[in-house]
């Protein structure tokens, strides 16, 4: 028997079939449209997402030579915070999905901050008050789609992050549910008691009737007959939590960072939700058998998306894989900084008004220097996050960073992260750790895969990047980055 993992990301969907030994045996991937109605707004057509899920799942099964009866279970992992509202009867969305990167509700967040609500929201949810999260997106949709608020209050509409929307479609409308890790990203979920918070729902003007049932990451999420025979859906987790599981970060103090469209570092803090004093997020890493394990998280809004900008926006490269070679031709004497605040800055700054900027250009600066600056920006932003984690949880000092995601294939970027952190960086043999995490959860749900200890023992390192930069160079570069960021911020 095998497991089918659906990895629904921000710019593409992947479906991966894993065998009984947890090895990937077939992969299909499909990109879908990115919709930018106005500057700062990012949307997806939910039908594009759904079509990509169906197509990639069918393709992966065909590649593996398997049918639905050969699949023991499905696991789902998804871009988090992205918000969809749909009709419970027809399944039709009332509007495009509002993507996690979208900044249209900044004025709403600013008004709530001015009203003195941020501290209480953070205490209950572990999150900062920012357009990144789902609650203000939900309110925007209800306010801007005719008749939506009345229909929501009458119980005719359903809200979900992408996992919930996929569950609804996969099960033919029978299941409206989510897992604790996705619920924890909405600004509506109390991460300490594991329930939707009626006071927060009232504050954000979100009817409780909209919200899905919250389950463990390993649970009965119904079944789908879409692929020819019933397949149970037994695992769900948000993409960064799934990657934490896929990297076997089960022990407090273990840490991973995923570099996809954005970059996200999670530090396992065990059964304690650490309230950050340094603008990080306290979130749920996973919830199994009713027990929550927590994490500190730092979010970089733009990582691999900056490489896509080099490719699609500036046309400096034809493929992302060309970035290392172009950057290697840069002049070491040049020190160009790219602050990729294309959709504001995430942790630890949380400046929604910041815009992208380039500093340090000279007459000799060119495409190679900009490519290097793009790769180095990921390292600088990672150090921003890790230093905040050190301050919040000193036990993290000296921790090896496990990395994954598409950008982890860049040896130059990973080496620079090790250099600027002055710490080892481990890249795993299986790079698709997000899908691996979803598959592992589903496999556990049908007793196909081992327990945490057995899974952790199976984790294998592909390469360790050791720091090689001298201290003087490291700190000189770091001072330059801090100066560049300070000149970009709008909230000082």
The enclosing H or E element of 50 equals helix 46-64
DSSP string, 202-240: HHHT--GGGPPEEE-SBS---EE-TTSS-EEEEEEEEHH
CA atoms within 13 A on the CB side of 337: 21
Q: Model's pTM, two decimal places?
A: 0.88
DSSP string, 427-438: EES---HHHHHH
3-state helix, strand, coil in the chain (%, to 5): 40, 25, 40
CA atoms within 13 A on the CB side of 338: 24
The CATH number of the structural domain formed by 247-428+460-492 is: 3.30.420.40
The crossing angle, in degrees rounded to 10, of helices 471-486 and 411-421 is 100
Phi and psi of 194, rounded to 5°? 70, 40
Running DSSP on this structure, what letter comes out for residue 375? H
Class in CATH terms, 2-238? alpha beta
DSSP string, 329-352: TS-TT---EEE--BTBB-TTT-BT
Q: With beta carbons less than 8 A apart as the criterion, state whether 128 and 350 touch.
A: yes
- Residue 430, both tokens: 């299986």
Contacts of 378 (CB under 8 A, 6+ apart): 259, 263, 300, 303, 306, 407, 413, 416, 417
- Structure-token match 């209950």, residue found: 124
Chain centroid, CA 65 distance in Å: 31
3-class SS at 76? strand
Q: What's the pLDDT score for residue 329?
A: 94
The crossing angle, in degrees rounded to 10, of helices 433-445 and 239-246 is 80
CA atoms within 13 A on the CB side of 243: 32
Q: In the chain, how long is the greatest CA-to-CA distance?
A: 64
The CA distance from 306 to 264, in Å, is 15
Q: What's the pLDDT score for residue 400?
A: 84
H helices of 247-366, in order, are 304-308, 323-328
Q: Provide CATH 3.30.420.40 ranges for the chain.
A: 2-238, 247-428+460-492
- Round to the nearest angstrom and report the end-to-end CA distance of the chain: 55
Report the side by side order of strands in the sheet with 24-31.
24-31, 12-18, 2-8, 71-78, 231-238, 223-224
C-alpha dihedral over 294, 296, 301, 306, to 10 degrees? -110
Q: What's the pLDDT score for residue 121?
A: 95
Percent residues over pLDDT 90 in the chain: 81
Q: What's the pLDDT score for residue 352?
A: 79
Low-confidence ranges of the chain (pLDDT < 50): none
The CA distance from 193 to 190, in Å, is 6
Q: What's the pLDDT score for residue 491?
A: 66
Chain centroid, CA 468 distance in Å: 29
The CA distance from 490 to 174, in Å, is 46
Closest by CA position to 158, among listed 98, 87, 208, 94: 87
DSSP string, 259-318: ESSSEEEEEEEET-----SSS-EEEEEEEETTEEEEEEEEEES-SHHHHHIIIIIS---S
Task: Compute CA distances 469 → 257, 415, 417, whole Å.
Answer: 21, 10, 11
Q: With beta carbons less than 8 A apart as the criterion, state whether 401 and 426 touch.
A: yes
């Amino acid at each position: 028997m095998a497991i089918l993992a659906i990895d629904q990301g921000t710019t593409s969907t992947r479906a991966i079939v894993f065998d009984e030994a947890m090895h990937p045996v077939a992969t299909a991937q499909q990109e879908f449209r990115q919709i930018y109605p106005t500057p700062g707004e990012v949307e997806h057509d939910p039908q594009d997402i759904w079509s990509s899920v169906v197509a990639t799942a069918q393709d992966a099964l065909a590649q593996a030579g398997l049918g639905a009866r050969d699949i023991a279970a499905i696991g789902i992992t998804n871009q988090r915070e992205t918000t969809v509202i749909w009709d419970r009867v027809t399944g039709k969305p009332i509007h495009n999905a509002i993507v996690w990167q979208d900044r249209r509700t900044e004025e709403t967040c600013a008004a709530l901050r001015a009203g003195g609500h941020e501290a209480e929201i953070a205490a209950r949810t572990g999150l900062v008050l920012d357009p990144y999260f789902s609650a203000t997106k939900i309110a925007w949709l209800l306010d801007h789609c005719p008749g939506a608020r009345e229909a929501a209050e009458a119980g005719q509409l359903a809200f979900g992050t992408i996992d919930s929307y996929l569950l609804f479609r996969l099960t033919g409308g029978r299941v409206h549910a989510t897992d604790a890790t996705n619920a924890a990203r909405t600004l509506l979920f109390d991460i300490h008691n594991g329930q939707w918070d009626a006071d927060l729902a009232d504050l954000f003007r979100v009817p409780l009737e909209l919200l899905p049932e919250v389950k463990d990451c390993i649970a009965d999420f119904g079944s789908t007959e879409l692929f020819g025979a019933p397949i149970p859906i037994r695992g769900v987790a948000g993409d960064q939590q799934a990657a934490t599981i896929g990297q076997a970060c089960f022990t407090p103090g273990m840490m991973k960072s995923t570099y996809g469209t954005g970059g996200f570092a999670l530090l396992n803090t065990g059964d304690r939700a650490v309230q950050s004093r340094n603008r990080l997020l306290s979130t749920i890493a996973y919830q199994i058998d009713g027990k929550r394990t927590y994490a500190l998280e730092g979010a970089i809004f733009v990582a691999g998306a900056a490489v896509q900008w080099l490719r699609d926006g500036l046309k400096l490269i034809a493929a992302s894989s060309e970035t290392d070679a172009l950057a290697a031709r840069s002049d070491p004497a040049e020190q160009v900084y790219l602050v990729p605040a294309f959709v504001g800055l995430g942790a630890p700054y949380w400046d929604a008004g910041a815009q992208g900027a380039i500093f340090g250009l000279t007459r000799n600066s060119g495409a190679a220097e900009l490519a290097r600056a793009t790769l180095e920006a990921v390292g600088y932003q990672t150090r921003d996050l890790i230093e905040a984690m050190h301050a919040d949880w000193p036990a993290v000092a000296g921790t090896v960073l496990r990395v994954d995601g598409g950008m982890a294939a860049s040896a130059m970027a990973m080496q620079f992260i090790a250099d600027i952190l002055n710490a080892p960086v481990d890249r795993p043999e299986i790079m698709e750790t997000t899908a691996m995490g979803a598959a592992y959860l589903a496999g556990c749900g049908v007793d196909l895969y081992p327990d945490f200890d057995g899974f952790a023992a199976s984790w294998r390192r592909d390469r360790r990047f050791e720091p090689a930069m001298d201290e003087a160079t490291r700190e000189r570069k770091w001072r330059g980055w801090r100066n560049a960021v300070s000149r970009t911020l709008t909230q000082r």
